[in-house]
Structure 1
């Protein structure tokens, strides 16, 4: 059997449903094999960066590795941003790239660059297939590495001449990795730490969402009754009205949650990745830490660990909940929870007298009109900070952000990955005008696939976050303004329904109409009030 056919059968064996990518000369055999697959759909995108972002978000929401494909040289390097973003946000992704034959890899050659070395610093594993018969072993190892704790990106390079070789068809069986939990003595040490301190504060990280441990954590929080706060990517674990919910931490400025953290005497940190926010930003007092995660804690002076519970977060919490958890009910000083709600515009009432078209008012409408399983995807920019503060998803993993790399351009292609991973869930894409034009071409991909979701472009012709930072640092800004096309007309040129929004009432009514009839892709060009 042709090696590329074996590769595709190995992908089928891993449960792959979609491969996002662009064909090239060095990957033609792979695409030909994909064309004959009855289980995998090859999705031809408009830019390889978009393919990587699609695979990233698909991986986060489906719970299995997203797959993308690019040819050698510029095709592969175009994947870099999306692959590194997925790796830092611990999203399982396997990228396949083409490469020149071996005889061209030893001297200067057209389009040849060392893809494996380029990707090594930003992946869990980057490798070249050196003999075609190793394809089954390499694919099985790649998916195992991409999905195992903590998930991330893997890159496999297949030189062109190997793809056509005849090899045996032997995909390896997929075996589940059994969960691990600490021994009983470590649990007793953890319980002793909880008993020792009077004011624990729980910090919820992205690992809780990745490992689907929200229910187990809720049981633990309800027993302990101590305050808790989410990282940006963990939002939705606690309901907005939950009395222990102190919302979101990790902001560089106006992070009111820090007042509660600094009042605590113990931090119970669960599934938190340092890439979300460094401990020196939220543990300035170097409070002792009870670390619960799938991986041991990194050495850090602002993260002084007393006890570590290492293994499956879900199973650790299940076991912890079997013990008698001593109640540690306390509230931070000064009615802090209500102050956070007011400062972050959580549950705000919108003025009925000429309400402004602000991001906070729009988020209030989105939150009110959306159902529980609605997925909101935010691009990067000043609006991301507002969304992280204000928007309260009704379930975990219903707010998707690029947080580790914080890469602009993820929202539109990411929405395609989200809709394919969760076809029955409404998807709303919120992007600034800067991020929108980075991957705007992917709305053609969405239209071609017949996907229906809402794109909201916040149009102010400026990189707002950079403007604010420059004004603060220099007293003025430079190089942050630009002009935009008519986004509504641009959408129409792709066959997508486009509408220009200039008033809050128009936004509210238009959003309601689209949510009630979600059969088509639509784009709102929103002229926001700064």
Structure 2
């Protein structure tokens, strides 16, 4: 016989869990005691939301569910945003929450919410453990569901009295699951459609962000010479220095890239997740679309593919590459013209030295300084568009942005998880001042656990994304400005290193220095968003029409 909480920890060890992120409460004390004797490391956070973001990012980078822990009531409700972040972003994550005794309670309804029911709409699986004997099956099923395509969040509630009871149950074996291969007739139909098209175009989405898929896509592109573009969460699947890479669909319409998309008569849509903003809209009688993914397309008024190729994405792409023949009637000359304009446009302000600094300059300097395998994590703000459009990724998962829930507050915890998993890689978190302050308390966590990382705060003393939208829609400037703390002193108060940028050149020098020193470095960088409206709202549309 053993305590149920011991069995739960053994079940997590059986799933090869390395870390548990979170904040324990009274209802987790048996679980915490069992964890103290485990090889699993507890990362004690300062807010449950930060713990959830770290767990989700762990899942995103490893493919294995990241695990986070909270108590009941307010601790569990603080997981809600992180659960939605993982669920919409297809990141495998497990939340474990405590609960008051369910078999005999003397505290009435104090702090008690129906957390299982609360989690149901934003998870793939949620369940309360009512007996220690059920722990092995519940944990195994939760991990299986969280990892299978499409990945996402799962939740287990472990009541205090159940955690303390005795059990003699044994664990389940963990077995790897093979994804089904695509149907040969579907592959043949896809090849036939591509060969008949005049201007096919390849789209790489978030679901293709797997190493094997990248290798298959490279083989397909090298054989066919079909140009490609990606969504924001599909960045880095293929090295974006590739001569056939057209760009990233970072805006909804009117960018140079969208003129290429509009010209295409067939789009091979590999791994696109409809959670992301549509990189194109379909019309009846317009371009044809092949949907290559793990699961069927969800049909709506703007997305109704003409063919589904379902199964393992890498296998589907390999199948198409092996069977396709290059066609003499394919015409990619217009795409070449678009690529030339995209490349010219996005580099225009890379060397601009004005101060406060333009986001384009910040993007170019980070790309220039960071190694090829270095990781940048983004919070959510208007700068995300500049990174999506202008920052070239050389490897998968080296620009971690959220184009699904698009929540603020995730940039710093995401970088912390990335550094924890990849201690030998350089990691930079880029946060707006608004997003940084939403989880800035996690700087203490980063310092305490000894992470070496850089946080760049883009400081405009406002919610800049909404101000840009406000201006673009013709509204007056209202309700979006605030005052910030002294970020240098703020960093120092946590034991981090604070740096205040005074010029464009100073930013470059400071970033190089910080990346090569130990500790957590917070860089307060004034940013100039004054060109957002003229470039993103007006300039691209007018210039693209003129040139293309």
Determine if the TM-score, normalized by the shorter chain, exceeds 0.5.
Answer: yes
> Runs of 5+ in structure 1 lacking a partner?
none
Matches within 5 A, 1:213-292: 213-278=213-278, 281-283=280-282, 286-292=286-292
Cα distance between partner residues in 2 of 1:335 and 1:105: 71
Could you tell me how far 1:301 is from its partner in structure 2? Answer: 3.4
> Runs of 5+ in structure 2 lacking a partner?
530-548
Could you tell me how far 1:491 is from its partner in structure 2? Answer: 0.4
Cα distance between partner residues in 2 of 1:163 and 1:418: 31
Q: Is the 8 A contact 1:452 1:521 kept in 2?
A: yes
Partner residue, 2:489? 489
Matches within 5 A, 1:302-317: 302-317=302-317
The DSSP-based 3-state class of the residue aligned with 2:274 is coil
Partner residue, 1:344? 346
Q: Is the 8 A contact 2:227 2:335 kept in 1?
A: no
Matches within 5 A, 1:449-460: 449-460=449-460
Cα distance between partner residues in 1 of 2:261 and 2:455: 36
Partner residue, 1:524? 523
Cα distance between partner residues in 2 of 1:481 and 1:104: 51
Q: Give CA-to-partner distance per residue, 1:27-52, whole Å, 9 cap, x none.
A: 111111111102x0011100000000
Partner residue, 1:502? 502
Cα distance between partner residues in 2 of 1:198 and 1:310: 24
Cα distance between partner residues in 2 of 1:107 and 1:224: 68
Cα distance between partner residues in 2 of 1:311 and 1:107: 51
Partner residue, 1:176? 176
Partner residue, 1:321? 321
Give me the TM-score of the superposition, normalised by structure 2: 0.92
Cα distance between partner residues in 1 of 2:301 and 2:245: 27
Alignment RMSD (CA, Å): 1.9
The DSSP-based 3-state class of the residue aligned with 2:413 is helix
Partner residue, 1:36? 37
Could you tell me how far 1:161 is from its partner in structure 2? Answer: 0.8
The DSSP-based 3-state class of the residue aligned with 2:334 is coil
Could you tell me how far 1:148 is from its partner in structure 2? Answer: 0.4
Could you tell me how far 1:183 is from its partner in structure 2? Answer: 2.6
Q: Is the 8 A contact 1:208 1:270 kept in 2?
A: yes
Q: Is the 8 A contact 2:65 2:92 kept in 1?
A: yes
Cα distance between partner residues in 1 of 2:382 and 2:408: 11
The DSSP-based 3-state class of the residue aligned with 1:96 is strand
Matches within 5 A, 1:2-17: 2-17=3-18
Q: Give CA-to-partner distance per residue, 1:179-233, whole Å, 9 cap, x none.
A: 2112322211111111221111111101111464111111111222122111001
Q: Is the 8 A contact 2:94 2:146 kept in 1?
A: yes
Cα distance between partner residues in 2 of 1:157 and 1:354: 53
The DSSP-based 3-state class of the residue aligned with 2:292 is strand
Cα distance between partner residues in 2 of 1:239 and 1:59: 23
The DSSP-based 3-state class of the residue aligned with 1:419 is helix
Q: Is the 8 A contact 1:261 1:283 kept in 2?
A: no
Q: 1:525 to 1:31 in 2, by over 3 A?
A: same
Q: Is the 8 A contact 1:105 1:112 kept in 2?
A: no
Cα distance between partner residues in 2 of 1:29 and 1:444: 26
The size of the alignment, in residue pairs, is 525
Matches within 5 A, 1:180-191: 180-191=180-191
The DSSP-based 3-state class of the residue aligned with 2:49 is helix
Partner residue, 1:446? 446
Cα distance between partner residues in 2 of 1:414 and 1:334: 36
Partner residue, 1:83? 83
Could you tell me how far 1:77 is from its partner in structure 2? Answer: 0.4
Partner residue, 1:20? 21
Partner residue, 2:540? none
Q: Give CA-to-partner distance per residue, 1:89-146, whole Å, 9 cap, x none.
A: 1000011011122257999600001101111111111111122111000000000000
Which of residues 325, 329, 332 in structure 2 aligns to 1:330? 332
Partner residue, 1:66? 66
Q: 1:164 to 1:333 in 2, by over 3 A?
A: closer
Give me the TM-score of the superposition, normalised by structure 1: 0.95
Could you tell me how far 1:468 is from its partner in structure 2? Answer: 1.6
Q: Is the 8 A contact 2:182 2:311 kept in 1?
A: yes
Partner residue, 1:371? 371
Q: Is the 8 A contact 2:459 2:526 kept in 1?
A: yes
Partner residue, 1:142? 142
Could you tell me how far 1:278 is from its partner in structure 2? Answer: 3.1
Q: Is the 8 A contact 1:412 1:440 kept in 2?
A: yes
Q: Is the 8 A contact 1:211 1:314 kept in 2?
A: no
Cα distance between partner residues in 2 of 1:325 and 1:376: 38
